[in-house]
């Protein structure tokens, strides 16, 4: 049982480190599009804006007010983008984007990795670590072994005893 516990704890911590590390790398490759910054929205790429956490003076609203300037046009257009939501371009060519709050623009693989690492997948390694730690507690393992070896579950499910 100790090997299983160590395997769950080590595997869960390794999985957690991989998920968090991939998320940090994806966040580091994103372009700042906040006040005073211009990010380039590549042609034909789906993008999403993410708030910059823990930055002084950052707004926590769910909508970013942005100014979009396509390269083939001289006029800029204002539009509102919901933070953490994918947006597909309705123009051709690259464009520059500037927003009124501290946000970053993510496209391509960084966007996909960022969405995965911010999703519910993060709970799986945490659950493995929790179960692994519980396996080190003798009373927990005693009751767990007792549940698996007693006949009450067989009786409840009407499974015949092994021969």
44, part of any domain = yes
Residue 81 — φ and ψ, nearest 5°? -120, 130
15, part of any domain = no
Q: How far is residue 64's CA from residue 76's CA, in Å, rounded to a whole number?
A: 16
132, part of any domain = no
126, part of any domain = no
- Give the tokens for residue 101: 């709050």
**What pLDDT does 11 receive?**
92
- Give the tokens for residue 64: 């970013």
102, part of any domain = yes
Domain region containing 52: 31-107
**What pLDDT does 18 receive?**
92
163 residues of the chain, pLDDT tens digit each: 678 888 889 999 999 999 989 888 888 888 888 888 888 888 888 898 888 765 555 556 788 888 888 887 777 888 888 888 888 888 888 888 988 888 889 888 888 888 888 888 888 999 999 888 888 777 776 776 666 655 666 666 666 666 6
Q: How far is residue 60's CA from residue 57's CA, in Å, rounded to a whole number?
A: 10
83, part of any domain = yes
153, part of any domain = no
Number of domains in the chain: 1
């Amino acid at each position: 049982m100790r090997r299983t516990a160590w395997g769950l704890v080590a595997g869960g911590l390794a999985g957690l480190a991989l998920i968090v590390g991939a998320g940090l790398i994806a966040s580091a490759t994103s372009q700042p599009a906040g006040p005073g910054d211009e990010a380039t929205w590549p042609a034909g790429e789906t993008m999403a804006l993410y708030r910059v956490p823990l930055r002084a003076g950052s707004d926590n609203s769910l909508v970013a007010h942005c100014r979009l300037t396509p390269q083939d046009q001289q006029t800029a257009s204002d539009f509102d983008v919901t933070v953490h939501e994918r947006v597909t371009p309705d123009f051709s060519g690259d464009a520059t984007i500037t927003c009124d709050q501290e946000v970053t623009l993510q496209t391509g693989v960084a966007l996909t990795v960022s969405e995965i690492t911010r999703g519910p997948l993060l709970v799986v390694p945490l659950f493995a670590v929790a179960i692994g730690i519980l396996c080190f507690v003798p009373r927990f393992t005693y009751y767990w072994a007792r549940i698996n070896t007693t006949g009450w579950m067989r009786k409840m499910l009407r499974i015949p005893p092994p021969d």
